[in-house]
Amino acid sequence: MKKLVTSLLSLAVVAGLSGAALAQEAASNGAEPAKHAEGETPHFPLLHPKHEHWTFAGPVGHYDKGQLQRGLKVYTEVCAACHSMSLVPFRTLGALGYSDAQVKAFAANYEVQDGPNASGDMFTRKAIPSDYFPSPFPNHEAAAAANNGAAPPDFSLIAKARGIERGFPQFLFDMIPFVGGYQEGGPDYIYSLLTGYDQQPPASVQVAQGTHYNPYFAGAAALAMPKPLSDGQVTYDDGAPATVDQYAKDVASFLMWAAEPHLEERKRTGFMVMVFLVIFTGLIYLTKRSVYANKEH
């Protein structure tokens, strides 16, 4: 009986893994959104985010500083017109490879509100490295009014907040660092969303006026934000391709860094802890053998 139950469970796990893998492959190849019966509530996103390869993936992943610098350029020239990063100070840009002078010069391109002064009035001044990326709008209501009623979200933690679970049974393995350790759901989602605007909605999907169809959007079949990127929009200093695909990868990596700037340190610490535990386990085993070597069992 036990063998029968074990066999059935094994078959169920294999079938689940196979089904999930096929679904993921179909989604990454641009499969059509799932068709829902009339009156049935659809599940969003209509397509699972594409699974990209990132330098910071895996237990020993690391950030590519060149890519982060390109992502910062895309953010400042495109995304910053609508999206703030109110939790990211300018001084942290030194981790991207910039000198203190470069960080200071970069911060000076922005103006922030300060005060009150001796007269009790607020005033505007140039930003310094200890300041945070300012919002392009004075308040949430102004942001919503300028964007057809939909206030653009803050980008400080967007790469961690927008992660899409891959479903059963994959999410079980995603939680185990040295087996799956998939923690790139946010960047995958951002990349897929930014490159998913050119698809045509199927006949079964109704797109409201003033919105834009994107099967990777987690909230609905369409969103208020129009396609933000186009080829040749941003010129890279290092000669990287000026394409939507490259822009999307670079800004997704930058936003992952903004959300988790200490990722490399965390992974190094985790790796050393795992090595220590392996050595410690070996020492415990050898100690046990030594203690009980002459004991009768």
CB 211 within 8 A of CB 222: yes
Please count the other Cβ atoms lying within 10 Å of the Cβ belonging to residue 207. 13
How far CA 84 is from CA of 71, 105, 143, 211, 237, in Å, comes to 15, 19, 10, 22, 24
Q: Which residues are annotated as a binding site?
A: 79, 82-83, 225
CB 238 within 8 A of CB 66: yes
Q: Is 181 left (phi over 0), alpha (psi -120 to 50) or beta?
A: left
Strand partners of residue 123: 114
Q: Which residues are annotated as a binding site for heme c?
A: 79, 82-83, 225
Mention every residue, 6+ apart, whose C-beta is less than 8 A from residue 257. Answer: 63, 68, 71, 95, 96, 263
Please count the other Cβ atoms lying within 10 Å of the Cβ belonging to residue 136. 15
CB 131 within 8 A of CB 109: no
Q: Could you give the CA distance from residue 253 to residue 65 in angstroms, rounded to a whole number? A: 10
CB 228 within 8 A of CB 79: yes
By the 10 Å C-beta count (0-12 exposed, 13-18 middle, 19+ buried), 116 is classed as exposed
